[in-house]
Amino acid sequence: MSIELKSAIASDVARIEQAMQDDLALSAAETAPLLAEILRYGLLHGGKRIRPLLMVVCYRLCGGGKNKGGNDAGVDIHRLSIAFEYLHGATLFHDDVIDKGLVRRGRPSVHVAYGETAAILAGDFLHARAMLLIGRGGGIPALDIFCQATTALVDGEFMQLHNARNYNLAEEDYFRVIMDKTARLIGAACQIGALVAGAGAREQEALREYGLCLGCAFQIIDDLLDYQGDEAATGKAVGNDFCEGKMTLPLIIAIGRAEESDRRRLLGMLANSEERKDGVAEARALIARYDGFALARHKAEGMIAEGLTQFGIFDQGEVQAEKVVLEALASYVLNRNK
């Protein structure tokens, strides 16, 4: 993340962090001590806060907070935005249990530190708390958008289960999964920011589309980092997705473009867990041979370019600062190394 972007978002990130600390302290007074401890452990030790930040910036892009007598009077946007960090945190708690993930952000995962039952229950609490915050701060329309995104997230998980051993997965199926699992929640954060600012349907849809494009690109870059990233930066072993037999975009592209012998080789490795573990370097070479990495990055760049076109409907003079931040966040997504 560039120094300029860090400087531009520093105040909002600090206010989001403070809002979360304050809300967790309030929750701690009403919940079991162990739950409060788990929430602090799982939420207050790292994280980019991208989703709540997007909500705050989109809120201001649509004039939120500028008119004290407007529709958004009384909205504490930073406190409202932490609902998205809570839901994201809940999914991480649960995903680490499902995937047997041992480390999260350089520390033992919640289920490793506190047990699977405690991790699942803490995730359930965060989900409920997120809905409460959205309902109170954004009303029924915001809660409807939020719940649709949550429903899609679960549907995406089931679709991924369905596709788990389909090694001839089509790109269309891949994009449906990442749209549901990742992009819709980011789109909802952008849309709800616009909604609570009093924006119309056109502005809401434009920012939702920006968020969907950003979310898809974010996941594609994750796929690339799994094969090409620096382990010290990503915190994950290179080729972990291939070892687990996950069909991510670079691999899907390569299988679709490969000559028959190479295609059979990739499919053969995928079908055998031991060959997957021993064949990461070979798989990387085959993916590169068929331009899987280059074409996946090209698709991510295309998604970002499409998302940035959505700002054309906004008055460029009035929203320049927010537009610059959203463009910089898009650039960060494309160029991040972890």
Q: Under 8 Å CB-to-CB from 272, ≥6 apart: which residues?
A: none
Here the CATH number for the domain that contains residue 132 is: 1.10.600.10
Mean pLDDT of 32-57: 93
How do residues 131-167 score in pLDDT, each as one tens digit? 999 999 999 999 999 999 999 999 999 998 888 888 8
pTM, rounded to two decimals: 0.93
Which residues constitute the domain of residue 171? 3-335
Query: Which pair of tokens denotes residue 181?
Result: 């699992």
pLDDT at 11: 95
How do residues 264-287 score in pLDDT, each as one tens digit? 999 999 999 899 999 999 999 999
pLDDT band of 104, cuts 50, 70, 90: confident
Q: Which DSSP letter does residue 183 get? A: I
Q: Under 8 Å CB-to-CB from 274, ≥6 apart: which residues?
A: none
Domain count, the chain: 1
Beta strand pairing call for 107-108 and 103-104: antiparallel
pLDDT at 130: 97
Please, where are the H alpha helices in 62-76?
none
> Which range has the worst mean pLDDT, 97-106, 174-183, 226-235, 298-307?
226-235
Per-chain mean pLDDT for the chain: 92
How do residues 185-233 score in pLDDT, each as one tens digit? 999 999 999 999 999 999 999 999 999 999 999 999 999 999 998 776 6
